[in-house]
Structure 1
Amino acid sequence: MGESTGRRRDDGDETDRRAYRVAYDGRAYHGFQRQPDVPTVEDALLDALRALDVCPGDGTPPGWAAAGRTDAGVSALAQTVAFDAPAWLSPAAFTSELPADVWVWADAAAPADFHATHDATSRAYTYHLHAPADEVDDARARGTLAELAGEHDFHNLTPDDEGTVRDLETDLEREGEFLRLRLRASGFPRQLVRRVVSLVAEFGRGTPSGDRLERVLSPEPLSGPEGVPPAPAEPLVLTEVSYSVSFEGNNRVLSEAREWFEARRVEGATLARVSATIGSSLPE
C-alpha cells in the first residue's frame, strides 16, 4: 500500500495496549482467524506486524485479541484488534504493510487489561439480501425478523452448542432490489446472522407452515429438511463493535480506503452490467 509511514521496532521501544479498527473485503480470505495453509485476515495483520518488527516469529504480540471471528467471505467495517503496541505504530504505518483489501483506519489508547473480545459491549452485522419486490413480500419478511427479535435460544440457527441464548435487536429496510437486514447483540454464535437471513428469505418468498417459526425457536432440535441453512457469506458485513474506548480515525488511511472501496464498487457494478447484458440477450 505504499511507503511505510512508521519505523521498525527498536529494542528500547515502550509499548502500551492499543486497539485498532480494521476494514476489509473478505472475499479473498477464509475468514478472520488463522488457519493452516489458507489465507486469513488475521494472517495478513500478523504478517504486517512481523514486517514492522512488532510481532516476533510465528507468535502474536502481547495481549493480542480480536473482536470476533468472521466466516470465510465475510467483510468488515469495524473489526477490532488490540495488543501491546509501540507508540509509533499508527494506523498508516500498520496499513503500509497490509494487502490492498485490508485497512487499519483508526486506533485508540486502551487500559492495560483491555481485551478486544471480552470488552466489546455489542456487535452489529449488516446483510444485503437480494430480494426483488416482485419475489419477496416485505411485510412477511419484516414480520419474521421482528418475531426473532428479543431474547431467544437460537440453538436451531447455529452449529454451536453453547452461548446460543441471545438478545437480538433487528431492523429491515428496502433498498431497490435488496433488503438490508441489521442485527445487533452482545455477541453472535456461529452462522446465526446468515441463518436468520435464510429464515427471513424463506418466509418472504413463500408461505411456510404456520408453526415453522415456533419449531425453529423451540427446545427441540431441527434436523434434515427442517434445518435452516446459512445464507451466502459474501453479502455480510461486520459493521459495528462497541467499546468504552474512543477511536480516532486516520485521515490519510480513511481517504485512501474510501477511494479503494469506491473503485471496487464501480468494478462490481460494471461486471454486473456485463452479466445482465449476456443473460438478457441469450435466446429463449
Structure 2
Amino acid sequence: MRQIKLVVEYDGTGYAGWQLQPNGVSIQETMERALATMLKVPVRLHSSGRTDAGVHARGMVAAFKTDTAVPLRAFSEGLNALLPPDIAVSSAEEVPLEFHPRFDARGKHYRYSIYRGERRSPLARLWAWHVRTPLDLALMREAAELMVGEHDFASFRTAGCAAKTTVRRIDAVDIVEEGDFLRIDVRGSGFLRNMVRMMAGTLVEVGRGRRTPRDVALLLSRPGSTPAGPTAPPHGLCLHEVYY
C-alpha cells in the first residue's frame, strides 16, 4: 500500500467548493473521477481542508492510498491530462501511510485580493473583489496588526462552523500594494469557517472609515459581543500554501 500526496491548483469559479456536495460539482468529485479513470478503482481523497464555492487554491494538499505501482509522474502529468483546464496537480510525492493532510498541517497561507481600479476589470473579476472607494491603508495595517497573535476569533466565523474552539493563532497579516491591487496575506495555524473572508471584510470597513482599529480590538477582546465586518466575496480568496 502507498500513499500519494498531491498539491493542487484550481480556479474555483465553476465549482461548489472543494468538498463533495449533493447539489453541485466539487473539486474533490472531479479529481476522484479522474483518479478512478486512471487507476480503474474508486479513490477517496483526503484534503488539508475545504474551500467554499468560488474560492481558489494554488496549494491545496490532498492525499490518497493506493496499492498500484503507477509511477509518481502519472499522478501529475498523467492525471492532468484527465482533469479540466481549471484544475491541475502541480506536484505529487509518496508519503508515509500515517500522513494526514489536515491533521499534520502546521499552518496555512491565504491571500485575499482586492482590485481598486476606477473602472471594472473583466480580467480581474473572477479572482479579486472590486472596491472602488478609497481605502486608508495606514488604518488597515494598524487593525491588521491587532489580529496577529492568539485570539478568540468567535466574531470572525459564519453560521454552520463546527469548530470545537474558536481560538486561533495568526502569525502574520500583511497588506501589500501591487499597482491597482491590494493583497491581504494571512498566515496562521488554522482558520474558522469564512474567517479570512470576514477578516478581509472587516479590514476594508476600517479602510473605508466605517470602523476603527479600536473596533477590531473589541471584536477580539469581547468575542461575539458585536458582529465583525461583512464577509468578503469568495472569488477574492486563494489558498496559497499549506505548511507541514
Q: TM-score, normalised by structure 2?
A: 0.84
Structure 1 pair 90/210, CA: closer, same or farther in 2 (3 Å)? closer
Paired with 2:213 and 2:6, the residues of 1 have a C-alpha distance of: 46
Post-superposition offset of 1:125: 0.5
Equivalent in the alignment of 2:216 = 213
Written as runs of structure 1 = structure 2, the 5 A alignment for 1:188-203 is 188-203=191-206
Q: What is the match of residue 186 of structure 2?
A: 183
Q: Closer, same or farther in 2 for the Cα pair 1:117/1:199, shift >3 Å?
A: same
Q: CA deviation at 1:211?
A: 4.2
Is contact 1:46–1:55 with CA below 8 Å preserved after alignment?
A: no
Query: Partner of 2:82 in structure 1?
Result: 97
Q: Please name the residue that 1:154 is paired with.
A: 153
In the alignment, what sits opposite 2:121? none
Larger Rg: 1
Which sections of structure 1, spanning at least 5 residues, go unmatched?
Answer: 1-14, 244-284
1:235 aligned residue: 236
Three-state SS of the structure 1 residue aligned to 2:211 is: coil
Letter in 2 for 1:173: V
CA distance in 1 between partners of 2:75 and 2:224 (Å) = 48
The TM-score with structure 1 as length reference comes to 0.73
Secondary structure of the residue aligned to 2:21 is: coil
1:108 to 76, 79, 93: 93
Aligned residues: CA RMSD: 1.9
1:55-134 superposed matches below 5 A:
55-56=41-42, 60-61=43-44, 64-85=45-66, 86-88=68-70, 89-131=74-116
Do the aligned partners of residues 241 and 220 (structure 1) sit closer, same or farther apart at CA in structure 2, a change above 3 Å counting?
closer
Q: Is the 8 A contact 2:47 2:101 kept in 1?
A: yes
Q: How much does 1:47 deviate? A: 0.9
Instruction: Give distance in 2, aligned partners of 1:227 and 1:151.
Output: 17
Cα 1:163–1:220 change in 2 (3 A) is closer
Pick closer, same or farther for the CA change 1:210–1:137 going to 2, 3 Å. closer
Give the structure with the larger strand fraction.
2
Residue in 1 aligned with 2:125?
Answer: none
Identical-pair percentage: 32
**Richer in helix (by share):** 1
How far 1:227 sits from its partner (Å)?
A: 4.1
**1:32 paired residue number:** 18
Structure 2, unaligned runs of 5 or more: 118-131
